[in-house]
Amino acid sequence: MPRGFVYKSYTADDGSVFQTRVDADHATDANRGWGSAIPGGPLIPRGLRERFVLGISPATGRQGRARIGSSTSLIWQGVATTFNVEANDGTIDTMVIIALRGERREVSH
């Protein structure tokens, strides 16, 4: 698996496209919906919390989460029902999705 972080495009619910750093292992998972990076493109604004899914491993009972780059991704659409994470001991653990958490934006008062 690749190591480190890479820049990828995140497509917000309103269609805006922002750049963000993504774990290189996760960036290669097509089910997560990350787009190709746009050099010089805007970074994710401070008040935007990206969408993500929560999962649990049936084998180990560990919980995990995965950031999702687009609302059209296979995971977000429910087509893919699992995702992989690297456990602390270096093994790959498959998580079954148990919840989706949508994008949130902070607004000034």
Domain count for the chain, please give it: 1
Q: Which pLDDT does position 86 carry in this prediction?
A: 86
Residues of the chain with confidence (pLDDT) below 50: 1
pLDDT, one tens digit per residue, over 80-104 is 999 999 877 888 999 999 999 999 9
Q: Which long-range contacts (CB under 8 A, 24 or more apart) does 41-49 make?
A: 41/9, 41/17, 42/18, 43/18, 43/19, 44/10, 44/18, 44/19, 44/20, 45/18, 46/106, 47/105, 47/106, 47/107, 48/12, 48/18, 48/103, 48/104, 48/105, 48/106, 49/103, 49/104, 49/105, 49/106
Report pLDDT for 63: 93
Alpha carbon distance 24, 55 (integer Å): 20
Range of the domain at 56: 5-105
Q: What is the pLDDT of residue 32?
A: 97
Q: Specify the pLDDT at position 2.
A: 56
